[in-house]
Structure formats: C-alpha cells, structure tokens
Structure 1
C-alpha cells in the first residue's frame, strides 16, 4: 500500500535505477511524492524509465566505477532538484560463476570495481549534500551472499560482504548527523541479473531458500522504501534480510 505523500519534498538518487529493483524503488518513490534521479549505464533504459516517471525524474548515464562521473552526477542532481536526501545504491553485476582458483582476474576486478568501489563512490559523493541539510537516508544493496558466501561466486560474495562492512562503518560515522545508513541483503530475486548467472547457480540459490521461491521485486522495494523514509530514524548501520528464511544470522 503506497502513501502518496511519504516522499514529498525529498530527492532520491537510485543507482541501477532504470531496471529491476532500482526501477521498482524509483517508481515507488515517485508515486509517493518524491523526485528521483536515475543513475544507470544504459541510456535506452534510462530514456524509457524517465518517460514513464515523468517530470519528477532525471536520468544520468554513467558507470558507477568512474569516480569523476559519479561526482559530476551528484552535483548535477543537487543543482537540478535543490539537494539530495536519499541514496539507494543498487547498481551491481554478478560476474561469472566459477571457482576462486579459476576465476579470471579481470572479472574479479570488474565486479569489485562496480559492486564495492562504485558503491563507495556513490556514498562518498552524496554525503556532503546530506550533511548540508542535516538529513539523509542511504540504503546500500548488499546480498545474502555477502553474509554466507555463495560457492562459485567469490567476487560477488566478497564485494557484497564489503558493502555490509562499509555500511556499518559509515553508519557509525554519521550517527549524530541526521543521516542514516543501512543495507539490505536479499536472497535471489528474479531480475535481468539472472541472465549473468549459470542455471546451476540459479538452482543452487533457490535450493537454499526455505520458502522455496525467489523473492519478488516489490517485496524488496517495500523494505528499501521504508529504510529511505523519515520513519527510519533510529536505525543506522543495520543489515536487513529479505531472504525467504535463508539468513542464519
């Protein structure tokens, strides 16, 4: 159930915002009164998403692993909408499914560069704008793989574990500032990211979920939007599972 005024007067940045979970979050924030900047690497997907979202949206094509591009996007977003109140950092890739000792070095670097370095760049770029207002909500998208480690996904698992650690660190740094920082650790959700995985890895992930099904985009978006709202005022450095019972701690 949506609240048409929950994000009234707020501006959100959603990375990976032109598809999947990112687009679902952006759509809900816009529907609930907020303005949304979609940072994504796919210009065509951005154009389609902003056409649907309308004047409350801004699209910026970039690679989050490029610090200068991220820094420029933050400035453009703040100049356009008068600041940045919310960041949902959901851009990410899986990398190949293979053992650690056969994992290609170039793929390792690319996964870490996007999933961890890129997320760090986005967090770093938006915090100064939030501190100007003494208000902010940062939601970093990690994964259950960052807590448990998935076999044949070493770079992805390591990158998402790093996201959890970064979230806890930044949350403590900003604890008295009015800016909260939390992360979400979904189990597998069927989105286009499945196209990057082997079928055997998809089957493995499903086998680990006690509910016996994959998560739905809307289920994850609902939790993210609460963490991005004014209501999430006494929670920071937190790790929130959307795992169908898979999480063990």
Structure 2
C-alpha cells in the first residue's frame, strides 16, 4: 500500500452521522477520529488527556464533542453518554479503542491489582461502553461498532505483557458474542493491529531504536502507521462491509 495514497471517499455515508471514539486523543484513536472528520462525521472523543481534548475541540468546533471520561468508571460513562444523547440525539457508530499496555509483569512478580487495572480499562470498559451505546439509539438506520483487539490476542504478546494479551483475546471473543446478540441492526467487528508506530510503543520500550528494530519480525519489514489502521476501521464502520459482522480483521503486516 502506498502510505501517501488518499483514502476512499466515505462522505456520502458519514456526513453528519455521530460517532464515538474512546481513547481518541492520540495514536490509533486520533487517526480514526481524523479519518471520520474528513468524511464529514461528527465525533465524540473520550479520553483522559484534557489538554489534547481541548485542542481538538478548538480545532474542529461543534463537529467534535470532547469529553474527559474514564471508561472504566461506570458513572462517568453513563453521564458522558447522556450528554451525547442530549447533544446529538444518540449515536450511529462506536469505536472501542481505549486501552493500556500496563506494567511489564512476569508471573514471578504477579500483581493482582495491576492485572485487574488492565482488565478494567481494556475489557470491562468496552462492555459497558457498548451497553451504553446500544441504549443511545436514534434515527440512524444501521449502526456499527469496531472494537480494537490486537495481534497479541494470537501471539500472546511480548514477555511480561500477558495481561494486555489476555484482554485483547477477550475483546476478540466478546466481539463475536456481541455480533450475534445485536444482529441484524448493529454490526460488530474487531481489528487486530500489529506493531503500529504510536506513542504507546515508545512509552512501552522507551527507545526509538528498539521500536524501529521491531520491523525485523514483521514480514512487510516495517511498522504500521495509525492511518492504515484508521482506513480499515472506517471500512468496517461503513456500508462497504454491510455483510460483515463478528469478524476479526488483522492489520499487522503479515504477522
């Protein structure tokens, strides 16, 4: 794929349709937000980075509803969703992107509290945000959800990342369960990104050279870009994937 190639035009479908992207202030989430905005959507962004949310709100005006939300907090999720319903009448689409890698932790140093923290942010939150989304129905016709899993769901992740890998495997299975329950009106799919060149990779490894070296284990011999994941996400959200639900799409360069 030519990384400079413009994406397909989805504005015929997404114009003025309201979408929620959790963890949308940076990385893959931000790339998805920008792709949706470029297609004419209105986007609610949930994140904990208040400064970045403010910058996005100033940049995009009333096309963005920037909300500082802890997705692991049930009361916060309910209140933020109520604000969306009041503002836009409901939601047409949801991207469950919020997540953390968590602290590197091998079994000989197992920390139950840390494991629970990763489970709450990555997996439990996706369930409760989806439950709130289902109730925030409006006059939008077909609705769709994309959940962010990871290639780690299949590979087990890197040493010490078993909590993260476990939650991402849970996302994949939960997606299939949700798709059966919510069909035919709501389609639910998941993506499994591989090693994507984002802040979270730098935060995890702490060194640019170590991040770049990861290309050696990828058949395509490069890291993925957030925009490439966003392009897959918008296809899964769109009518282009109208007969696709319960799927797990790898965006991983062949891993």
TM-score in terms of structure 2 length: 0.90
Match of residue 161 from structure 1: 169
- CA change 1:132–1:124 in 2 (3 A) is farther
- Matched-pair contact (CA < 8 Å) for 1:74–1:126: yes
Match of residue 4 from structure 2: none
Residues 152-202 of structure 1 show CA distances to partners (whole Å, capped at 9, x for unaligned) of 2110000000000110000011122x2100000000111111243135985
- CA change 1:98–1:205 in 2 (3 A) is farther
Match of residue 70 from structure 1: 77
Tell whether 2:231 aligns with 1:222: yes
Report the Cα distance in structure 2 between the residues aligned to 1:145 and 1:204, rounded to whole angstroms. Answer: 18
Secondary structure of the 1:97 match is coil
Match of residue 181 from structure 1: 188
Report the Cα distance in structure 1 between the residues aligned to 2:136 and 2:238, rounded to whole angstroms. Answer: 17
Q: RMSD of the alignment, in Å?
A: 1.9
Deviates more, 1:73-82 or 1:204-213: 204-213
Structure 1 moving runs of 4+ over 6 Å: none
Aligned length: 245
- CA change 1:112–1:196 in 2 (3 A) is farther
Residues 187-225 of structure 1 show CA distances to partners (whole Å, capped at 9, x for unaligned) of 011111124313598578544311121110110000001
Per-residue deviation at 1:230? 2.4
Match of residue 22 from structure 1: 29
Report the Cα distance in structure 2 between the residues aligned to 1:213 and 1:130, rounded to whole angstroms. Answer: 40
Per-residue deviation at 1:5? 3.2
Deviates more, 1:20-29 or 1:191-200: 191-200
Which consecutive unaligned segments of at least 5 residues does structure 2 have?
1-6
Report the Cα distance in structure 1 between the residues aligned to 2:216 and 2:99, rounded to whole angstroms. Answer: 23
Secondary structure of the 1:5 match is helix
